Amino acid sequence: MLRDLADVGQSVWLDYIRRQILDNGELDSMISDGLRGLTSNPTIFHQAIAGSDDYDSAISAYLIEHPEASVEEVYEHLAVADIQRAADAFAGVYEETDGLDGYVSLEVSPHLAHDTETTISEAKRLWGVVDRPNLMVKVPATPAGIPAIAELVGSGININATLMFSMDHYEAVAQAYLDGLTNVAEPHRVASVASFFVSRVDSKIDALLEKIGTDEAMALRGTVAVANSRSVYHRYQQIFEGDDFARLRTDGARPQRVLWASTSTKNPEYDDLLYVEPLIGSETVNTLPPATLEALVDHGTVTAGAVLDDPDGVFETLDMLVDVGVDLDQATEELQVEGVQKFAASFDELMSALAAEIERLR
């Protein structure tokens, strides 16, 4: 299944990391089956570190060597070790695809989402600490994050631009990538993806439609996220498949692929692959949590170019949303603010849980 998707231009990455899958060979097995990358975020690390005892021995060993270590230092030691091991596991994919895939993502602290300069310095520091060519540093597409993305790409650092929900977010990230490429001596050595969030859009918009409650509004439930994403892919084609990028392609620059994020189905009334099958397209990535990946392998259908289906219907859906009184731009701006807050909360919860664990082990 995963190789079938690769054949039609879409790479599947895993939206999950935990030391157990590194230790027991599960990640290696998934790579053998066609998995081509991995993403992480503060919520994933919170679930992995605070939600298991996988890390107890590593924490104890680190504390013996560094008895005065802070909570943040312990966390970074654990996270960097996992990311390095995952990057090494994907090194073969990275080499076989000539740097197209095989990436592992690590996010800068969500508390830096509104601080351009510190985001830049922290991303550069993490790039040096992890020291793997197939690392992608995740930077949020906030107003402060956009100039950081341009600077970091220009410094030759692979960037996963994240927390994008709207066309405005996407266009700003794509432009930042293009601006960064102008300063890179060897553009073929830099890779970037634009992580566009999908299911959270329906969760937000559905609630607004249900509040309106008309037949026209209710008929739009569960349709807006895919339409929103397809419109962004259309814009991707205009930017990266047109004449403006042709020269950069000739120089070896890679297009900044769209990565579909938040692709698990939140509403149990909807198909479990609602945010996967309709978004299959050339030069795209879909990062899936384990349950959605299992569903895809079990009963997914591969349709080449599905993301291009019904182009007129895409914009009709977005127009109808305006007609029933929903402001998509406002909703997606709120989603980005909420996304930063959620990741920051997960990070803080992780720090609290880790502090308690450190105290217990000490």
Helices (H), 261-327: 290-299, 311-323
Query: CA-CA distance, 210 to 188, in Å (whole number)?
Result: 47
How long, in residues, is the chain? 362
Q: Are strands 10-15 and 284-288 parallel, antiparallel or unpaired?
A: parallel
Catalytic residue among 124, 138, 204, 211: 138
| 211 classed as catalytic | no
Query: CA-CA distance, 251 to 136, in Å (whole number)?
Result: 22
Residues 154, 209: contact at Cβ < 8 Å? no
Host H or E run for residue 285? strand 284-288
Residues 117, 94: contact at Cβ < 8 Å? no
DSSP conformational letter for 235: H
Residues 6+ apart with CB under 8 A from 129: 76, 80
Phi-psi region of 196 (alpha: psi -120 to 50; beta: other; left: phi over 0): beta
Q: Whose structure tokens read 């308690």?
A: 356
Query: CA-CA distance, 18 to 197, in Å (whole number)?
Result: 22
Q: Would you name the residues annotated as active-site residues?
A: 138
